[in-house]
Amino acid sequence: MAQALIEALNLEVHYGGIAAVKGISFAVEEGEMVCLIGANGAGKTSTLKALARMIPARGEIHYGKERIDGTPGYDLIRKGLALVPEGRGIFARLTVAENLSMGAYHRNDTADIAVDLDKIYVMLPRLKERAAQVAGTLSGGEQQMLAIGRALMGRPKLLLLDEPSMGLAPLMVEKVFEVVRDVAAQGMTVLLVEQNAKLALELCSRGYVMESGSITVADTAANLLADERVRAAYLGE
Ligand SMILES: Nc1ncnc2c1ncn2[C@@H]1O[C@H](COP(=O)(O)OP(=O)(O)O)[C@@H](O)[C@H]1O
Ligand SMILES: [Mg+2]
């Protein structure tokens, strides 16, 4: 295997007295697309927020050769670690174009930013058509694409995606997943959190199953798709 781009060791997240993440360990290799599946409340969002250093956590987090569990979240954006949060977190009153440029706020390579913006408009033509539209008036699927596009404007190495399909109509889910597939095909490392386990496993090479704050199964996506317990609990079979 290639070197791990991100690795968590005994990661724990507590909210007051509640343990939401109970000492999990996992890794994503460079160029891999890995998913974290599990029911509502399993601790998936807490895990991603802990990796992005948006909430306090215990345990070790390694990013490339660096240990980052003491690094502030804003420094990680500079280092290429981008989280597309659950619920998207776009700036509703700003236009599509303004939201995209916010994604590059920490960069000063102006010419390359323009090149990246063009690439994103090619990949997401819907955003180009709506460049001047206020983001709050976009459909849910368009907002999700904007959130992904904004993260890509930061030229991330690692993209953490939290429930990109949430609340979207089936056709829009397909489109958003196509974008995620495109992004992964360009060689970006992706950690995808999804309640839609079937879609996630069809897209990823490996997966972790999270239950009540612990990782209970770790396997290839093909094995997880064939696993009786996974099928019964997460694939509605
Ligand atoms: N800010 C918070 N304060 C207190 N408890 C929280 C908070 N955020 C999440 N939790 C709790 O932590 C657990 C894991 O939540 P979360 O990480 O959002 O799970 P998932 O993303 O898998 O649905 C849940 O029991 C949830 O209620
Ligand atoms: Mg969540």
Q: Residue 181 C-alpha to ligand 2 middle, in angstroms?
A: 21
Residue by residue, pLDDT tens for the chain (237 residues) are 568 999 999 999 999 999 999 999 999 999 999 999 999 999 999 999 999 999 999 999 999 999 999 999 889 999 999 999 987 889 999 999 999 999 998 888 888 999 999 999 999 999 999 999 999 999 999 999 999 999 999 999 999 999 999 989 888 899 899 999 999 998 899 999 998 899 999 999 999 999 999 999 999 999 999 999 899 888 876
pLDDT score at 106: 86
* Amino acid letter for position 171: L
DSSP 169-230: -HHHHHHHHHHHHHHHHTT-EEEEEES-HHHHHHH-SEEEEEETTEEEEEEEHHHHHH-HHH
pLDDT score at 2: 64
Number of helical (H) and strand (E) elements in the chain, helices listed first: 10, 10
Residue 11, strand partner residues: 24
Atom 24 (ligand 1) nearest CA: 41
Q: Residue 144 C-alpha to ligand 1 middle, in angstroms?
A: 21
On the CB side of 165, CA atoms within 13 Å amount to 20
On the CB side of 219, CA atoms within 13 Å amount to 13
pLDDT score at 1: 52
Q: Residue 14 C-alpha to ligand 1 middle, in angstroms?
A: 9
Closest CA to 162 of 46, 22, 61, 41: 46
Ligand 1 interacting residues, C-beta cut-off 6 A: 15, 18, 20, 38, 40-46
Atom 11 (ligand 1) nearest CA: 20
Closest CA to 82 of 39, 116, 110, 42: 116
Q: Residue 221 C-alpha to ligand 2 middle, in angstroms?
A: 20
CA distance 107 to 82: 14
Atom 5 (ligand 1) nearest CA: 15
Which ligand 1 atom sits nearest the alpha carbon of residue 16? 4
Q: Residue 66 C-alpha to ligand 1 middle, in angstroms?
A: 28
pLDDT score at 195: 86
Q: Which domains does the chain possess?
A: 4-87+152-234 (3.40.50.300)
On the CB side of 185, CA atoms within 13 Å amount to 8
